[in-house]
Each structure stands twice: as C-alpha cells, then as structure tokens.
Amino acid sequence: MNIQTTSLYRRRKLFNQLVMGACVAATLVGFLFLFAILFTLVTKGLSALSPSIFIERTRMSGGGLGNAIWGTVLMTSVATVLGTIIGVAAGTWLAEYGGKGWMAKVIRFINDILLSAPSIIIGLFIYAVVVVPMGNFSGWAGVLSLTVIIVPVVIRSTEDMLRLIPNSLREAAAALGAHRWWIIVRVCYSGARAGIITGILLGFARISGETAPLLFTSLNSNQWNFFRLGDEMANLPMTIYQNMTINAFIPDLVALAWGGALILTAAILILNIAARYFSRQRS
C-alpha cells in the first residue's frame, strides 16, 4: 500500500470520526436542553405540590388548582368520547370503503392538513361558529375545539391500524357468509383494537395540554363548575397561562402554575407510556 492511499484512508477515517463526534455532540446538546426543561419543571413544580392543590379551587391568593384540573379532565374526556365516535367512523370508511378512490384521497389529504393545523386557528374557528352565536364563552365551545383537534389523530390511527388487518381475514369471514359491516365490527375491529386505543390515548394526551384553542372558547373560571359545560369552564392550561402572564406579579400564583405544569406534564407522559404499553401488547 503506497503512501497516498494510506493518507486517504487516514483522512476518511478522521473525517468519519469528526462527523460522528458531531452527531454524538448533537445528541448530547439535544438531550441536555430537554433535560434542563424537565429539571426546571420538576424542581419548581415539586415545591408547589401539596394535597390541597387538588382540592381547593383557584383564588387570587392561596387556593389550589382543583377546579382547573377537574375542568381539564372533564373537557378532554368529553372531547375524546366525541372524537372517538367521529374519528373511528371516518377512519373506518377510509380504510374499508374509500380505498384508492379520489374521494378517499382528498379526505386523507385534508385530514393530514388538519392533523397539524395550528391549534390557535381551531380556537378562532370555534369562536366564530360557536361562541359568537351563543353569546358567551362556554365549556362546550372548549370541548368542540378539542374535538376538532383529536378527530384527525383518531382518523389517522384507525385507518392505519385497519390497513394492517390482512385481507385474507376479511375474505375468510365473507366466505363464511358474514356481511361486510359484520366483518368490520367483529373481525377488523377486534384485530385493530389495541392500535386504535393507542391512537385515542395519544390524542387524549395531546389535547389535554392544548392551551391556544381554549383561549377564546372555554376561557377560564375560578369557580367549581362541575358539569355545567354551558358556562365558562376552568382548565389547567389556561390557569397556568394566566398565572404566568396577567397574574405573574403574585409569586404564589406563579408557583402554583409550575405545580400545575408538573401535574399536566406528568399526566401526559403517563398517558403516552400507557399508549405505548397498549401498542406493545398488539405485537
């Protein structure tokens, strides 16, 4: 081997090490930032946590986050139920009937756009079509804006999961005399159940942290509203936002906001892990 090739080898090896070093550095920097955020969240959040935070309602002095947590749980749950009904039905049509037709292609494309549309736009939309005609901010408006956000997520995962069911299963059921709707309900859904539930859980996690669509729909409230979705509804993300901005001059409320942020993030991470657990059961 002459000197020229050895030096070429050396240069290639050196360059490779440099770039791979840069990749490792990128990984470290990326994770460093993300861990810094989690660290701040945990340290600031833990000091604000106490049992009373879950029980007391929000007040200008003292108080807790009880009504806000309840409002978020209620609104996201109702939105998830509505979103599941609409999303599973539409996703089923796309996977089982739409196929490669132009209508299905258009719907799929539009759904993908809605999947990543800015959530504040959804808030403006619901404001224009629900809040203005009704005349006041309401929990229902919040529920609807969250529904609009979760529906595309559920449609996408339902369709993807149903497509994983082999056609031979459908054909076998049809050969036994089953009607198409019966095949879908009994054969396809039972095979895709875990995947669909995963999608729903991921969507649930996503909408529980959404703030922007609630700004002009459910607004916020410092009362216990329980099931009165017709009124302005307290919710965790809006409470955090208000405590960090217009109420930021009150240190106690800022501390509460960090406590709320920790609760919210922990809940979302747990939902994500649960979703992963479900999808692992499938395989």
Partner 1 sequence: MATNAIQTDSGLGRLSEATRKRLQRKARIDVLFERTLFVFAFAVLLLLGAIIASLIASSWPALQRFGLDFFTENRWAANVEIFGALPAIYGTLLTSFIAIVIAVPVSFGIAIFLTERCPGFLRQPLSTLIELLAGIPSIIYGMWGMEVLAPLLRTWFPTVFPAGTGLATAGIILAVMIIPFITAVSRDVINTVPAVMRESAYGLGCTTWEVASQVILPSVKTGLVGGVVLGLGRALGETMAVTFVIGNNLFLNTTLTGQGTSIAALIANQFSESDGTQRSALLALGLILFLITFVVLAIARYLLRNSTGRHA
> 45-84: which residues touch partner 1 (CB under 8 A)?
none
Query: 147: which strand partners?
Result: none
Query: Among residues 174, 209, 247, 274, which is the contact residue for partner 1, using CB under 8 A?
Result: 209
Query: Among residues 68, 75, 94, 263, which is the contact residue for partner 1, using CB under 8 A?
Result: 94
Query: Which of positions 3-22 make contact with partner 1 (CB under 8 A)?
Result: 12-13, 15-16, 19-20, 22
C-alpha 217/C-alpha 54 separation (Å) is 24
| 155, 157, 158, 159: CA torsion to nearest 10 | 80
Query: Which of positions 100-139 make contact with partner 1 (CB under 8 A)?
Result: 104, 106-107, 109-122, 124-125, 127-129, 132
Retrieve residue 246's tokens.
Answer: 């217009």
| 260, 263, 269, 271: CA torsion to nearest 10 | -110
State yes or no: residue 97 binds partner 1 (CB under 8 A). yes
User: Phi/psi of residue 19, each to 5°?
Assistant: -65, -40
Query: Which of positions 263-282 make contact with partner 1 (CB under 8 A)?
Result: 264-265, 268-269, 272-273, 276
Least distance from C-beta 144 to partner 1, angstroms? Answer: 11
Which of 40, 226 has the CB closer to partner 1? Answer: 40
Query: Among residues 7, 47, 166, 181, which is the contact residue for partner 1, using CB under 8 A?
Result: 181
Which of 46, 269 has the CB closer to partner 1? Answer: 269
Helix or strand (DSSP H, E) at 16: helix 3-46
Binding residue count for partner 1, defined by CB under 8 A: 93
CA angle 92, 95, 101 (to 5 degrees): 120
